[in-house]
Amino acid sequence: MTRFAAPAALLAVLYFAPALSGPYLLHVLVLCYLYAIPAVGLNLMLGYTGLVSLGHIAFAGIGGYTAAVLMVDARLGYWSALAVAVAAAGAAGAAIGLVCLRFRSHFFMIVTLAFGLMLYSVMNNWDDVTRGAAGFPGIPRPPAFTTLESFYRLALTGALAAFAVQWLVVRSDFGRILIALRQDERLAEAKGVNATLYKTAVFALGSALAGLGGALQVSFLRVAAPASFNLAESINAVLIVIVGGAGSLAGPALGALLFVGLPEYLRVAAEWRLVVFGALLVLITLFAPRGIAGVIDDGWRRLARRGR
Amino acid sequence: MSALAVRALEKRYGGLTALAGCSFAIEGPGIYGLIGPNGAGKTTLFDVIAGATPPDRGEVTLQDRRVSGLAPHRLVRLGIARSFQECRVFPEYTCLENLAFSRIALGSRPDLQEARRLLELVGLETYADEPAASLSFGQRRLLEIVGTFLQRPRVLLLDEPSAGVNPALLEILSAFILKMHAERPGLLLVIEHNMEFIMGLAADIIVMHQGAVLERGTPQAIQASPRVIEAYLG
Amino acid sequence: MAQALLEQVINGLMTGSVYVLVALGMVLIYGVMHVLNFAHGVLFMLGGYVCHFFFTRVTGSYVLSLLLSMVVLALVGLAVERGVFRPLQGNLRNQVIASLGLILAIENLVVALWGPNALQLRVASTETLVALGELRFPAHHLMIIGITAVCVALMFGFLKWSKLGTAIRATSQDRNAAMVVGIPVEKVDMATFCLGTALAALGGALVGPLFLVFPQMGDAPMVKGLAGILLGGMGSVPGAVVGGLIIGVTESVSTLFLPTDYRDSVAFAVMVLILLGRPQGLFGVRVRGEA
């Protein structure tokens, strides 16, 4: 029971943050949550199953633009539009997965990379539907959540829902099979696992989560822009997952916090910040592949050993 | 009707012919040895039977049902299991988790009691909750073999189970295989280079050479056969 | 119509040649090290920037700048191979993730040093026109096609007849066997990576004058190069050449029927078709689970 005391306290603080802090901090936290949601999806795909998607945020773009078109042009109700947007992203993931997950991992990486670039091109150029490079304005917030404080609670709930899904998946048999696939796909197949099916399923789920993040993001910012969903953002998503700790439950939260929070704190020029992050990603991969969560975990273990 | 039969199997990898018209039939349960010089095509044969790669020509049948070309995971459900020459276990999973996986992969509940019993039989019970990566190579081999039996296969393909295992563990391995076979008789086909090991297990030995079956017989007959000797020396 | 088609075919050969340069480097690295170097795009881009630097600050000679950028990038490639890819050898997932870090770091470094705006490379060959029948092309177009053709020919000769080239082919076919016969595979890795990077730099430096030099300039060529490799068959060097050219020409010709803005979708569509129809590509060999 005491294990849950700290997280519960943290949750309480977060939930009551609007009463405790000003709009700037709330804004930053909302961005953290909105970055964390797709990161959870990518963590399931990359951290637990070992699928390296180079176009993850393209699916956030599918969620964002589908929501935009449905809410503004089709005048569909907010929640229905959101649901369809998430489903569309998931369906796109399933479709792409069916094309390339049968094959060696190289193909998956190439196809996701190409898909992301192609989608960016479509978002930029299909002016009739996406309003082109300037972006798609006028996206509403949900009826009961128009203020910053109320949207903050919505975003927090969304993030918590994503983490809940992650937790349920990881401790289920489905999750155990995914983790086995990451360790040795050929062995898992020799034990009776239909690798393609499971990989496609987690890819669809991860893409749906990305879609949720994207749809909430365009709602928060009230605009959908192609630049939010380009290759650089997909790389950022990988950064968040890896630095935070791939294959750990808290990884996406730690990574999102670092990625969004730290620059706000340090106030360094955007490009140099990203140079540092890029170098950090390389260094983490070389020397600390389990990321921040791994470092914390090792620290705990050492403390526990000394205590014995 | 044969439990396992392969007919005229051919397989080429680029310019290399791995299987050149390989045929044999095994009638029923028992422990059978598969030996032959390096490059004879033994592992390729296992890859074909277990579905890792389709044959260019020929077929594999299980109880006269054609199974060649099916994916590995489907063959598992038809009762085929295998171990790997290089020894594959899930390195991050504990021994118990590795063993439990045999059932989880097929959507059933794992029998942890049975898993613990088998771990005890091979002397690994103290490692039940240790990650497989922390085991020695020989111990990992034992774990791998235990895992294959937990799949309750009708046809079990063991690829050089003794390779890299020290003599003490070999005794345990040998005893374990015989005990498992006695508890639930199945068709066990074992690739081996260690003649002493395989002669102690199998009564029927198939010899492969250059992608096809050269001879078949009892261990004594095989050891005395001039053709077999020439294949190994030539 | 025939004129328009011919014009697009020539344009396509030009862009296709650039894709071939990218694809060649990537397919060689893939064959020897069994890794797809996703940082190839930023190395291509860096080639453009370094060429621009030499051209505007050091020497007014485009050709010299081009060669210098190839040399500089070969050294960068050496550093990347030894510092990033060698330590992660055998772990494809981590190598790809590390190359993403490289993309992030290098692209933003370029923005930090040169600014986000595109740079111009004013070179004579882009302004001189050459006549082919009734059509007019910048000499630069034909220069790109010509230089690439020469490079491809040199590459084939090098791979077939030189000692290093033979070592590269041997290591690609069977790394263990190559080690057994005494080939220094680590040196082969290094040399191949440097060679591939130099080719990428050449591509960036050649394309700079036509399409400007900007931080994201390598992204699309890398994807097209990958599409070319997929089409030609993973690991096939002739496949990379044929594939790259086909992608280039198909893209250009498609602009006659589709809005130009969707050029990039052509490469993706080709990829999907290959994977659905003939996953081993034109020259590849099919292996189960490995397409």
Task: Give pTM, 2 decimals.
Answer: 0.92
What is the H or E stretch that residue B157 is in?
strand B155-159
Shortest distance between the Cα of C288 and any Cα of chain A, in A, equals: 9
Shortest distance between the Cα of C176 and any Cα of chain B, in A, equals: 15
Distance from the Cα of residue A207 to its chain's centroid:
9
| Contacts C289 to B, Cβ<8 Å | 52
Which residues, at least 6 apart from A224, have a Cβ–Cβ distance to it below 8 Å?
A61, A64, A65, A67, A68, A130, A135, A136, A139, A218
Q: Calculate mean pLDDT across residues C194-206.
A: 96
* Residue ranges of chain B whose CB lies within 8 Å of a chain A CB: 50, 52, 71-73, 76-77, 81-82, 84, 88-93, 97, 101-102, 104-107, 147, 151
| Contacts A194 to B, Cβ<8 Å | 71, 73
Distances in whole angstroms, Cα of residue B125 to Cα of each of B95, B128, C164: 9, 5, 53
Q: Calculate mean pLDDT across residues C68-86.
A: 95
The 3-state DSSP class for residue A133 equals helix
Distance from the Cα of residue C64 to its chain's centroid:
20
Q: Are strands B4-13 and B57-62 parallel, antiparallel or unpaired?
A: antiparallel
In which band, very low, low, confident or very high, does the pLDDT at A123 lie, cut at 50, 70 and 90?
A: very high
Shortest distance between the Cα of C133 and any Cα of chain A, in A, equals: 34
Q: Which of these, A298, A297, A282, A196, lies nearest to A243 by C-alpha position?
A: A282
Q: How far apart are CA B118 and CA C190, in angstroms?
A: 49
Query: Token pair for residue B98?
Result: 């590795």
The pLDDT score that the predictor gives to residue C291 is 34
Instruction: Give percent of chain C with pLDDT exceeding 90.
Output: 68
Closest chain A residue to B109, measured at CA: A173
> B209 pairs with which residues across the strands?
B212
The pLDDT score that the predictor gives to residue C150 is 96
Q: How far apart are CA B73 and CA C14, in angstroms?
A: 47
* Residue ranges of chain A whose CB lies within 8 Å of a chain B CB: 173, 176-177, 179-180, 183-184, 186-195
Report the neighbours of B using a cutoff of 3 or more CB pairs below 8 angstroms. Answer: A, C
B30 and B203 in contact (C-beta within 8 Å)? Answer: yes
Shortest distance between the Cα of C61 and any Cα of chain A, in A, equals: 31
Q: How far apart are CA B219 and CA B206, in angstroms?
A: 9
> B158 pairs with which residues across the strands?
B190
- A102 and C CB contact within 8 Å: yes
pLDDT over threshold 70, residue A1: no
DSSP C281: T
Cβ distance A190 to B72 less than 8 Å, yes or no, reads yes
Query: Token pair for residue A291?
Result: 């990321």
Other C-beta atoms lying within 10 Å of the C-beta of residue A142: 17
Q: Calculate mean pLDDT across residues A55-71.
A: 96
DSSP A142: P
B144 and B89 in contact (C-beta within 8 Å)? Answer: yes
DSSP A290: T
Q: Which of these, B106, B196, B102, lies nearest to B150 by C-alpha position?
A: B102
Closest chain A residue to B99, measured at CA: A191
Closest chain B residue to C287, measured at CA: B53
B22 and B45 in contact (C-beta within 8 Å)? Answer: yes
Distances in whole angstroms, Cα of residue C71 to Cα of each of C47, C67, C77: 10, 6, 10
The pLDDT score that the predictor gives to residue A128 is 86
Angle at B138 between CA B134 and CA B140, to 5 degrees: 50
Cβ distance C285 to B52 less than 8 Å, yes or no, reads no
Distances in whole angstroms, Cα of residue C283 to Cα of each of A91, A101, A132, C148: 33, 21, 39, 21
More confident residue, B36 or A7: B36
DSSP C290: T
> What residue has token string 């740079």?
C119
Q: Give backbone dihedrals phi and psi of B124, rounded to 5 degrees, phi first.
A: -110, 10
The burial class, CB within 10 Å (0-12 / 13-18 / 19+), for A73 is: exposed
Q: Which of A91-105, A109-123, B88-102, C113-127 has the lowest mean pLDDT?
A: C113-127
pLDDT over threshold 50, residue C287: no
pLDDT digits over C17-60, tens only? 999 999 999 999 999 999 889 999 999 999 999 999 999 988 88
The 3-state DSSP class for residue B155 equals strand
Q: Calculate mean pLDDT across residues A177-181.
A: 97
Q: Calculate mean pLDDT across residues B195-199.
A: 89
| Contacts A176 to B, Cβ<8 Å | 97, 101, 104
> A192 pairs with which residues across the strands?
none
More confident residue, B190 or A296: B190
C92 and C35 in contact (C-beta within 8 Å)? Answer: yes
Q: Which of A30-34, A301-305, C235-239 has the lowest mean pLDDT?
A: A301-305
What is the H or E stretch that residue A102 is in?
none
| Contacts B76 to A, Cβ<8 Å | 190-192
Q: How far apart are CA B104 and CA B115, in angstroms?
A: 13
Shortest distance between the Cα of A98 and any Cα of chain B, in A, equals: 16
| Contacts A251 to C, Cβ<8 Å | none
Q: How far apart are CA A208 and CA B155, in angstroms?
A: 41
Q: How far apart are CA B7 and CA A283, in angstroms?
A: 53
| Contacts A289 to C, Cβ<8 Å | 94
In which band, very low, low, confident or very high, does the pLDDT at C280 lie, cut at 50, 70 and 90?
A: confident
pLDDT over threshold 50, residue C288: no
Interface test with B, best of A182, A185, A187, A191 (most B CBs within 10 A): A191
Q: Which of A192-196, C19-23, C87-91 has the lowest mean pLDDT?
A: C87-91
The pLDDT score that the predictor gives to residue B15 is 77
pLDDT digits over A258-282, tens only? 999 887 777 767 788 889 999 999 9
Which residues, at least 6 apart from B130, have a Cβ–Cβ distance to it below 8 Å?
B94, B95
Q: Which of B92-96, B126-130, C258-262 has the lowest mean pLDDT?
A: C258-262
Shortest distance between the Cα of C287 and any Cα of chain B, in A, equals: 7
What is the H or E stretch that residue C6 is in?
helix C2-33
Q: How far apart are CA B209 and CA B220, in angstroms?
A: 19
Distances in whole angstroms, Cα of residue C4 to Cα of each of A14, A275, B135, C13, C148: 63, 44, 68, 14, 24
DSSP sequence for A235-249: HHHHHHHHHHHTTSS
- A194 and C CB contact within 8 Å: no
Interface test with A, best of B84, B101, B156 (most A CBs within 10 A): B101
| Contacts A113 to C, Cβ<8 Å | 38, 223, 226
Q: Calculate mean pLDDT across residues A148-172.
A: 94
* Dihedral sign from CA coordinates of C146, C148, C149, C155: positive
Closest chain B residue to A187, measured at CA: B88
| Contacts B77 to A, Cβ<8 Å | 192
| Contacts B14 to C, Cβ<8 Å | 285
Query: Token pair for residue B54?
Result: 């389709």
The 3-state DSSP class for residue B187 equals strand
Cβ distance C289 to B54 less than 8 Å, yes or no, reads no
Query: Token pair for residue C150?
Result: 């020469």
Q: How far apart are CA B166 and CA B194, in angstroms?
A: 12
What is the H or E stretch that residue A26 is in?
helix A23-42
> B59 pairs with which residues across the strands?
B7
pLDDT over threshold 80, residue C285: no
DSSP B71: -
Distance from the Cα of residue C269 to its chain's centroid:
20
- Helix axes of A56-68 and A105-125: crossing angle, nearest 10 degrees: 30
Annotate C191-202 with three-state secondary structure.
HHHHHHHHHHHH
C215 and C107 in contact (C-beta within 8 Å)? Answer: yes
E strand map for A138-294: 223-224
C37 and C88 in contact (C-beta within 8 Å)? Answer: no
Other C-beta atoms lying within 10 Å of the C-beta of residue C75: 12
* Dihedral sign from CA coordinates of A187, A188, A189, A192: positive
Q: Give backbone dihedrals phi and psi of A239, rounded to 5 degrees, phi first.
A: -55, -50
Residue A90 identity (one-letter amino acid) = G
B142 and B66 in contact (C-beta within 8 Å)? Answer: no
| Contacts C287 to B, Cβ<8 Å | 13, 53
Query: Token pair for residue B135?
Result: 């085991």
Distance from the Cα of residue C21 to its chain's centroid:
4
Closest chain C residue to A237, measured at CA: C100
Distances in whole angstroms, Cα of residue A168 to Cα of each of A71, A249, B199: 31, 11, 50
Chain C contacts in chain A segment 275-304 (CB below 8 A): 275, 277-286, 289
* Dihedral sign from CA coordinates of C254, C259, C261, C267: negative
The 3-state DSSP class for residue B225 equals coil
Domains of chain C: residue spans and CATH: 2-277 (1.10.3470)
Report the neighbours of C using a cutoff of 3 or more CB pairs below 8 angstroms. Answer: A, B
Q: How far apart are CA A187 and CA B89, in angstroms?
A: 7
pLDDT digits over C114-172, tens only? 998 999 888 887 788 888 778 888 889 999 999 999 999 999 999 999 999 999 999 98
Q: Which of A195-204, C135-144, C214-223 has the lowest mean pLDDT?
A: C135-144
A153 and A145 in contact (C-beta within 8 Å)? Answer: yes
